[in-house]
Structure 1
């Protein structure tokens, strides 16, 4: 069977002992698990003594399937667990967390998983690895919040399928690695605002971003940041003028820092699959930014996400 190895790291401003306490207590996992984030109403049960081999938790949900994780051993710098999936298909994995203490109470946390796919899914090896790696990144960012601040600051709410009006816009397009998306978008928005100011073009609505292509497996993203305008107007290069067509779209609203938007997108895609919606392949998913990050606390930033679907 095809094998999978995935690992992702993050630096957390806390001693290794504090992080280990969280990781070996599965009662904390619903607060930061990237999968339970998608379905917080999933049924979760616990077993064994916290921090001891045999301690574990089990989950059952309509979106996250069913499975369980069990602590097998821990040391100062390493935690090992067995992971069992029961639904949507049976599989098992070895999970490992490495804790490397650094300077000034900072700890490097690396999340590993070794598993295999059923033989009939051999063609999904690369895409599955990429998706799990993306989930690990989301989970480690939530874990960082939980350990450093005592709570996670990412809340997403599904608002159903809604009608979205057409809008004319002036935009600026870019391509980047998905891992560099945040920095790239800051630069592209700066270029857009500079171009609008130099051309004396007035926007008439909230900024948004169209994701024309997102390839997790290849770590590649092509996107356009945009500002609505009253009507199509001439704009100097590298700006472009276009129209976002009217559409029906599945909508999710996220509250929290922009670096947690991956949670909202994961929820949006999971909800679309759960509802068996037909994604509109000729219309790009997009997100609208309701607040100015210069004047709003990061924890209070509201972003609306839309996935165009066919009726």
Structure 2
């Protein structure tokens, strides 16, 4: 009897501890991760608004390439459902598209069946950001008592966040590649003869995420040096791209001011681009979409048996401080022909 009494007291104590833990444990799980993608909203939205497109960047598809999928309804519309059944890492469940705001937000309802039953709301939100489109991927799920005790001992944010980060990284690669591969037919690619051009510049290798901030840092320095020297400018500021390392996510580039004559300024480079033919495109739109103009020149060169060289020149004709509408910003993109 004494043993039973002790056992009963222990059980009550454990139940009491469990009750206390469940009361202080979180009642819902919320995980969010974000990434900035160098592509227009419409390009990114295309990759997040249908189950078919999501398959290409879903981290869970990689966990089980043999996952069984069943789709009902019209993909990319409210009410479409994707059911999955896979290995122990992905389990079994379904996702239903609940709300779609073009080029802005997609909301879904998740129903997990195996390895345990639960439900969750998930969303993909797009927003304008420096350098492109910001994508936020989130999930929220209720955690009923006493199952919520697990949240005190498991870092759900780190566990799910890691998968979200992998998915967003793959989405970034896919969307940026599509943004840069617009067919030449969408742009008027021109072959133009250019005279010798000179630039005063600062050149360095930067990560792609640093490009916008480096423009803001370096172009004012170059402009100040040119004006102090009393050198006549020959147009609006430029970016000269010598190497674009997609795999390494970095670029060798120069932040440059065109000048009318060759001149040396201590601490700065003098760059001379010889006279010759270039392929040129006038691109109108926000800076994050200019990759499509580069893709158009590349496609035109391939179609016509031409070889574009380096550096690629972006000249920013429109001053954003004077023209607030990004759709009216003109960027001239030029590649020298070898």
Scaled to the shorter chain, the TM-score interval is: 0.5 to 0.7
Contact map agreement 2:240 2:314 (CA 8 A) in 1 = yes
Corresponding residue for residue 257 of structure 1: 286
Q: Distance in 2 between matches of 1:23 and 1:111?
A: 18
Q: Distance in 2 between matches of 1:101 and 1:287?
A: 30
Corresponding residue for residue 246 of structure 1: 275
Matched, 1:305 2:333: yes
- Secondary structure of the equivalent of 2:290? helix
Corresponding residue for residue 294 of structure 1: 321
Deviation of 1:293 (Å): 2.1
Stretches of structure 1 that go unaligned for 5 or more consecutive residues are 1-6, 12-18, 27-47, 55-71, 81-97, 115-128, 141-155
Q: TM-score, normalised by structure 1?
A: 0.54
2:252 pairs with one of 222, 225, 243: 222
- Secondary structure of the equivalent of 2:188? strand
After TM superposition, the structure 1 = structure 2 runs for residues 259-298 of structure 1, keeping only pairs within 5 Å, are 259-280=288-309, 283-297=310-324, 298=326
- Decide whether aligned partners of structure 1 residues 112 and 161 sit closer, same or farther in structure 2, where only a CA change above 3 A counts: farther
Deviation of 1:299 (Å): 2.2
- Decide whether aligned partners of structure 1 residues 274 and 232 sit closer, same or farther in structure 2, where only a CA change above 3 A counts: same
Deviation of 1:251 (Å): 1.6
Matched, 1:203 2:233: yes
Q: TM-score, normalised by structure 2?
A: 0.51
Moved over 6 A (4+): 110-114
Contact map agreement 1:8 1:136 (CA 8 A) in 2 = no
Deviation of 1:99 (Å): 1.9
Matched, 1:235 2:262: no
Q: Deviations over 1:37-92 (max 9, x none)?
A: xxxxxxxxxxx7444359xxxxxxxxxxxxxxxxx953555599xxxxxxxxxxxx
- Decide whether aligned partners of structure 1 residues 161 and 53 sit closer, same or farther in structure 2, where only a CA change above 3 A counts: farther
Matched, 1:171 2:198: no
CA root-mean-square deviation? 4.1
Q: Deviations over 1:241-267 (max 9, x none)?
A: 121112222222110111222222233
Q: Deviations over 1:97-149 (max 9, x none)?
A: x62579xxx971479879xxxxxxxxxxxxxx98x744424779xxxxxxxxx
Q: Distance in 2 between matches of 1:279 and 1:101?
A: 37
Corresponding residue for residue 123 of structure 2: 99
Corresponding residue for residue 136 of structure 2: 108
Stretches of structure 2 that go unaligned for 5 or more consecutive residues are 1-32, 38-44, 53-72, 83-93, 99-106, 111-121, 127-133, 138-163, 180-185
- Decide whether aligned partners of structure 1 residues 135 and 308 sit closer, same or farther in structure 2, where only a CA change above 3 A counts: farther
